[in-house]
Structures are given as C-alpha cells and as structure tokens.
Amino acid sequence: MSRYKSIVVLTGAGVSAESGIKTFRDGDGLWENHRIEDVCTPEAFARNPGLVQAFYNARRRQLVGAAHPNPAHLALAEFERQFAGKFTLITQNVDDLHERAGSQNLIHMHGELLKARCLKTGAVVPWNEDMDSTTPCPCCKQLGVLRPHIVWFGEMPLDMEKIEMALEQCDLFVAIGTSGQVYPAAGFVQLAAAYGAHTVELNLEPSQGHNLFSEHYYGPASQTVRQYFETLS
Ligand code: BV8
C-alpha cells in the first residue's frame, strides 16, 4: 500500500528520448537551421505557414512510422493501473506514446501532434497525415484553415484549471525528463511544494530547477522510472 494518496507526474521530452524522438534542447536546438522557439509560435505560422506545417509533418511522420513507447512509458502506465489513490499524468509532450503505453488519466498541456484544429470553428480532429494550406478541413471543407493542435510559445497551455487542482491536491509530485525551462510547466514543482507535496526529479542530469526538488534520481528514464515507482508500490 503506497504511503501517498494523490500523485501528479509531469513528463517532458526526455521520457520519449529513448523512443527515438529528439528532445528540444539536447541537440543543437535547431530544426533545418531554424531555432525551434522561432518555429513553434503563432507569428511563425502566420508569417510562413508552409515552414511550420513542414516542421510538424516531419515530426508526425516519425511518430506514426517509427516511434514506440519505451520502458519509462510502460512503467508509468503499469503503476497507474495498480495505484489505489488518485494518479494524474501531465505531459508537455505532443506524442501519443503515453496513450499507447496504456496511461489513462493523461493531460496534454501543450497539445497533440496527432490532432488538427480548424481555425474557423475551433473543432479538433484526429490527424495522422501531412497537412498544408491545400488540405481541406474535414469539418467545414475549407482550404487553408487547418493548424496542428499544438500549444505554441505565447499561447495558453491547455487544461490549466484541471492541472492547478491536481497540483494543489497531490502529496507527491514527480517530474520526469524535463529541463525545467518552459513555463508554466517549470513552475509546477513550486506550486505542488507550496501545498505540501513531496517533490522528486527523475532526469538524465540536474535540470534548471533541480534545487526546487526534495529528492533526485539521475539516469535514463527507461531505468529510473521503474526503479523509483517500484519503491512506491
Ligand atoms: C504561456 C509544443 C502564458 C510545441 C511547447 C520568460 C520567463 C518565463 C516564461 C517566459 C519567458 N518568455 C516567454 C515565456 C513563456 C514561454 C516560455 O516558458 N518560454 C521559455 C523558452 C522561456 N512559455 C509559453 O509561451 C507558454 N505559454 O506562457 O502562456 C500563460 C502563462 C501561465 C498560465 C497561462 C498562460 C507555452 C509554452 C508551450 C510551448 N510549446 N511544445 C512542440 O512540441 O512543437 S514547449 C516544448 O518545450 C515542448 O513541449 C517540450 O516538452 C517543452 C519543454 O521542454 P522539455 O520537455 O523539458 O524538453 P527539453 O529538451 O528542454 O529537456 C529534455 C530533458 O530531458 C533534459 O533535461 C534532458 O536532460 C532530459 N533527458 C534527455 N534524455 C533523457 C532525459 N531524461 C531521462 N532519460 C533520458 N533518456
């Protein structure tokens, strides 16, 4: 029987790294010589929609074609299945590897690569193929109105109320595979700690916010996640 009643886990790109999905800041932070922060913005999409659509088409193809959940995703889904308390998984990632591993109570705060959003109606639909300005929208049939269902820099993350509720109610907060550089996600550890939660960081190396956590385990997520969550069962 776990000593915790309500657990919130926050994952970042590091949890999908061993599935072959590049992280944001481990490489040179560039894509086709563009700074990623310059591609993931509404301004970039307005200025050069073709470039931004190509960036997401390439990542969508990789996700659909070659990426699979790794032991870190599987260990989280397994723990959630057997945990008697409340378990909330918040991910900054836009891949569907947590779903494919079996995670249930999952919040995609930065959106989902395998969904499209209609600029006219706001409708969100599943989307596995390429998308560009000639792709008709399935809901209103118009051309040039589809965008990736992704939260770009400067846009409001999704489900923030649900996230804040979970952070206030949890007694354990675990951050996995995130550099702690992007807000508001990077501030979640402080909110959870302010409400009395124990805080743990599982990462390849100390993140930007490592000193905000009470406990740390460093190493690849495919090892540290199972090792840590086994101590909770
Ligand atoms: C918002 C979708 C208002 C796109 C993403 C100045 C100060 C503070 C904030 C700001 C500021 N200037 C601007 C801001 C706000 C801005 C921000 O934080 N900018 C940063 C760059 C300073 N934030 C926003 O704009 C957000 N919106 O603020 O709206 C608001 C505020 C509060 C409440 C309501 C509204 C929106 C941000 C969302 C942007 N979209 N993703 C896409 O994916 O294409 S963010 C993007 O970065 C990804 O989601 C990614 O997940 C996320 C964070 O990166 P990480 O996941 O941490 O990935 P990273 O590569 O950085 O790190 C990987 C880590 O894994 C590393 O530590 C590495 O060591 C580790 N690792 C690697 N391999 C492994 C591993 N760990 C374990 N095992 C391994 N094998």
Tens digits of residue pLDDT in 78-95: 999 999 999 999 999 999
* Ligand 1 and 31: CB distance under 6 A: no
- Residue 20 amino acid letter: G
Candidate list 110, 149, 198, 216, residue with the active-site label? 110
Q: Return the bridge partners of 58, or none.
A: none
Task: Please state the atom number of ligand 1 nearest to the C-alpha of residue 14.
Answer: 65
Query: Ligand 1 pocket test: which of 15, 22, 24 has the largest number of ligand atoms within 8 Å of its C-beta?
Result: 24
Chain centroid offset of residue 136 CA: 28
* Ligand 1 and 206: CB distance under 6 A: no
d(CA 78, CA 2): 14
Q: Are 198 and 5 in contact (CB under 8 A)?
A: no
24-33, 62-71, 135-144, 150-159: which range is least confident on average? 24-33
Q: What is the CA radius of gyration of the chain?
A: 18
* Ligand 1 and 12: CB distance under 6 A: yes
pLDDT (mean) for 139-164: 96
- Locate 6 and state its tokens: 């309500």
d(CA 56, CA 188): 27
Task: Please state the atom number of ligand 1 nearest to the C-alpha of residue 184.
Answer: 32
* Ligand 1 and 94: CB distance under 6 A: yes
Q: What is the pLDDT of residue 184?
A: 98
* Ligand 1 and 181: CB distance under 6 A: yes
d(CA 77, CA 106): 10
- Residue 10 amino acid letter: L
pTM for the full model? 0.96
pLDDT (mean) for 48-76: 94
* Ligand 1 and 71: CB distance under 6 A: no
Q: How far, in Å, from the CA of 182 to the mean position of ligand 1?
A: 3
**pLDDT tens digits for range 185-214:** 999 999 999 999 999 999 999 999 999 999
Respond yes or no: is residue 110 known to be catalytic.
yes
